[in-house]
Chain A
Amino acid sequence: MTTGQLPERHAIGAAMKRKEDPRFIRGKGRYLDDIVLPNMLFLALVHSPYPHAKITKIDKTAALALPGVKAVITGEDLVAAKLGWLPTFHGFDNQMVLAIGKALFQYQEVAGVVATSREIAADGAELVDVQYEPLDPVVDPYQSKLDKIILRDDREQKTNHIYHWQVGEREKTDAALAASDVTIKERILSPRCHPAPLEPCGCVSDMNGATGRLTVYMTSQAPHVHRTAFSLVTGIPEDKIHVISPDVGGGFGNKVPVYPGYVVATVASVILGVPVKWVENRTENLTTTGFARDYHMDVEIGATKAGKVTALKVSTTADHGAFDAAADPRKYPAGMFGIVTGSYDFPTAFAEVDAYFTNKAPGGIAYRCSFRVTEAAYAIERAMDILADKLGLDPVQLRMQNFVKKEQFPYHSPLGFTYDSGDYAATTKKALDIIGYDALLKEQAEKRKRGEFMGIGVSTFTEIVGAGPGKHFDILGIKMFDSAEIRIHPTGSGIVRAGTRHQGQGHETTWAQIVAEELGLDPQELLVEEGDTDTAPYGLGTYASRSTPVAGGALALAARKIREKARKIAAHLLEASEDDVEWKDYKFNLKGVPGKTVTMKEVAFAAYTNPAPDTEPGLEATYYYDPPNLTFPNGTYIAVVDVDKDTGSVKVRRFLAVDDCGVVINPMIVEGQIHGGLTEGFAIAFMQEIKYDSGGNNLNTDFTEYLIPTALETPHWETAGTVTPSPHHPIGAKGVGESPNVGSPQAFVNAVIDALSPLGVTHIDMPLTKEKVWNAIQGAQSKK
């Protein structure tokens, strides 16, 4: 189905301006750090300068003597309070809150200082005297594998190996590879990077001694899960915990985990009986909170001479840092890495992941992606280009002849997923037409004759989002459903609450559009509220592009429950039988009597003033939606670059993103999401990496070393779309937030490698800095 064939809509599909923007653009958002409570104290954390060291002594004396310092908290204090260790989200590992006996990564939190001002707390942190005995650090997962130094002596298993996970058929895949006419093999690194939201993480913990109730204002993408986690860890009954996630300045997965600062601020508030605020600085955010990726992937593809793929094998070494804090569901320790077959119909495939501890910050969070999907998409899209190069085929042609075909959906992939829908060939065809692919190839051929390096890079990715079916996915054992509650007021406006928590995605607008579409109401008169666990229904939060696939379904189905009740009221108002009333053109119509209609506004008023006999007054509904399957957004992205052979500098001349995210709720918001995600993908491809030196020093600890692209560096984005509705989603939507980040890095890299292919360059690991590109050119030229 294409856009033109879709029915006219009431609210869905409208490029409505974002309802939340008037407060944001006027500086009237209310973020965590805007919260000031009476008698509030401030927490500063002490960090380990060593990546691996025994802690022989922590002396609080000088810090406690500083006027204004109210408390100094160490790991041992937390152990005494039975809060020394936190379970990680999937429950396979425990994480130190503050270092206990040993520091395991540089900048690890070692102590907390609580004081009357942020400045005094920072000065106090400087006065905590921590004595270390440095130990040899392990920063390379391939060294960690050797188990020469065991990093986690707290664990029963004396090995740095965390887990082995595999999916698919190893022997069949090996045999198919051995029998293939052509094979390629490449180690492809998806480097360690960081979501770096503009607002770092923080909280204000407020334990009210009189009521025994703990209120935690926190930068949270999943406030309900955090409430449950707080209750499980502290033993405070869940009704005595109130989590409020105020406006959030970007999350991208970084605000899903529970960080030591939240716990220490809460303990301090319990001890001192006053609110305690903790807000990270930029360095703390980049060095201690959830990083992303760090997957070293050995990718092998087999194919026939004609370019039909025969098998895929991917063996990954994953660097998880000091704790296994990757936020993955229990059943899927490597997330949805099984999407690594991508958009292609592999007869057989096998994927395995082995994860290791190193002396680096813990994390492995899903940075604007659905649990390891970005790594998988990068691996397959990069490898398809390497295969095309070896076969001497155009990369687009190779993709076209291996796509899962439209008629194969629902498609059962060899690694266990059931793709819902898609038309990869049509989406790609649209992208080729818009970008003028044939003309670009001609231009490139001419430039190559002149010795100029022009590259065209394609990524035809398939995403897997919307975790998810409760039978497969959970956090802390809680099934990954989501929820919505709608209350329609007597005058036909209403309040809509969901278990999600937006951080810039525009839910205040799109949720109103979904409900307005289902009920024929004005989206401007539907207030959307999220993030308060006392008022919102229980949900698993916003990450992994799950809000629209899961909460979006809950919203539509809650609205349909309201519509069913409204039909009874409409029948009462029309003095007709319910069977004679139909919902058409966004109002109730008496069948066979044109013009005899009742609007939802009229029904709403009647629900409170003139309810139908035998019906409850009021007009509200709640729905908990557990989706039957994941959704599979996809797209074709094309980058056109020019590489300066003397400087290694890359100019992205054009970039086109054609996305198929199913039914589009708000095209303006979708376009905005794509622009943002492409900018992140551009940064990952060209400038961002969290690097460590051999001594375990983190080398990218602020925005002078970890670069964020500004308008100056960012290319111009061209966008377009196709619409293949998800067959199982109540409104056919698939989610889009992550597609541009998941789909774009490989388009940039493929373009640069394509530009350098006349030199024989087949692969360079991201980020493609000028230095790396220049070195690749020099290396290739010196070989010639």
Chain B
Amino acid sequence: MNLEWTGQEQIAASKGAVWTFINDPQKVASCLPDVQSIDVRDAHNVDATVKVAVGPVRGNFKFNIELIPAASGNHMDLKISGGGFGSVVNLLAGADLSENGTTTTLDWKGSAQVNGPVATVGGRVLDAQAHKVIATTFENVKNAVSQTR
């Protein structure tokens, strides 16, 4: 099952502040909704345990999140892979930053490949739920950056 979404956040902070934030694996991982634990492996990799509920599949999924910053300082790719209970989720998210005076626009797009019981039992709700997870993550990024200004 392949899913794709896009979205945008307007962040009341400089592009530099947003860039610094999204380069910090600890901070990025803590923006995942329902995150249970975070284990930073190195400057670009973090393991996170996230509570997931899709239809009758409920429990903790383990994810590895890899940050891949572009040299331009305007674009970040995130590779999120993991799963649990026989399901696997491979999520690729990209964020583009552009400064507009005092605010920064974060355009994001995400795509996911899902296999296993989550794809099956969640067939009808998965798209909306996964969209919500990724949108909430970027919303949390916005809120967190705004607070740390």
Contacts from A to B (Cβ < 8 Å) = 46-47, 49-51, 106, 126, 132, 134, 283, 693-702, 704-705
Contact = CB atoms under 8 A, between A and B. Distances in A.
Contacts of B1: 693, 695, 697
A60 B116 CA distance: 21
Nearest to A701: B120
A695 B116 contact: no
Nearest to A698: B120
B119 A697 contact: yes
A134 B117 CA distance: 16
Contacts of A702: 121
B88 A49 contact: yes
A108 to B, nearest CB: 11
6 contacts: A126-B84, A693-B123, A695-B1, A695-B115, A701-B120, A701-B121
Contact of B117 (A283, A694, A696): A283
Nearest to B124: A705
Contacts of B56: 704
Contact of B116 (A106, A693, A694, A700): A106
Nearest to A53: B115
Given A49-B115, A106-B115, A695 B121 contact: no
Contacts of B115: 49-51, 106, 134, 695-697
Interface in B111-134: 113-117, 119-121, 123
A252 B132 CA distance: 43
Chain A at the B interface: SS class: loop
A695 B113 contact: yes
B52 to A, nearest CB: 14
A699 B83 CA distance: 18
B36 to A, nearest CB: 16
A693 B113 CA distance: 12
B121 A49 contact: no
Count chain B CB atoms within 10 A of each CB in A283, A695, A697, A705 and give the residue with the most.
A697
Contacts of B114: 697
Contacts of B88: 49-50, 132
B86 interface: yes
Given A50-B88, A697-B116, A697-B123, 19 more contacts: A46-B86, A49-B116, A50-B115, A106-B115, A106-B116, A126-B84, A126-B85, A693-B1, A693-B119, A695-B1, A695-B2, A695-B115, A697-B1, A698-B120, A699-B120, A701-B121, A702-B121, A705-B120, A705-B123
A692 to B, nearest CB: 10
Nearest to B88: A49
B87 interface: yes
Contacts of B119: 693, 695, 697
Interface in B84-100: 84-88
Contact of B86 (A49, A695, A705): A49
Contacts of A47: 86
Contacts of A283: 117
Contacts of A134: 115
Contacts of A704: 56, 121
Contacts of B86: 46-47, 49, 126
A283 B116 CA distance: 11
A705 B121 contact: yes
A702 B122 CA distance: 12
Closest 4 CB pairs of A and B: A49-B116, A697-B119, A49-B115, A701-B120
Nearest to B120: A701
Contacts of A132: 88
Contacts of A46: 86
Interface string B63-90: 0000000000000000000011111100
A704 B57 CA distance: 13
A778 to B, nearest CB: 21
A132 to B, nearest CB: 8
Count chain B CB atoms within 10 A of each CB in A49, A51, A693, A694 and give the residue with the most.
A49
A699 B123 contact: yes
Contact of A701 (B2, B83, B85, B117): B117
Count chain A CB atoms within 10 A of each CB in B2, B83, B85, B86 and give the residue with the most.
B86
B98 to A, nearest CB: 34
A132 B121 CA distance: 22
A704 B120 CA distance: 11
A283 B119 CA distance: 13
Contacts of A693: 1, 119, 123
Given A695-B113, A695-B115, A49 B123 contact: no
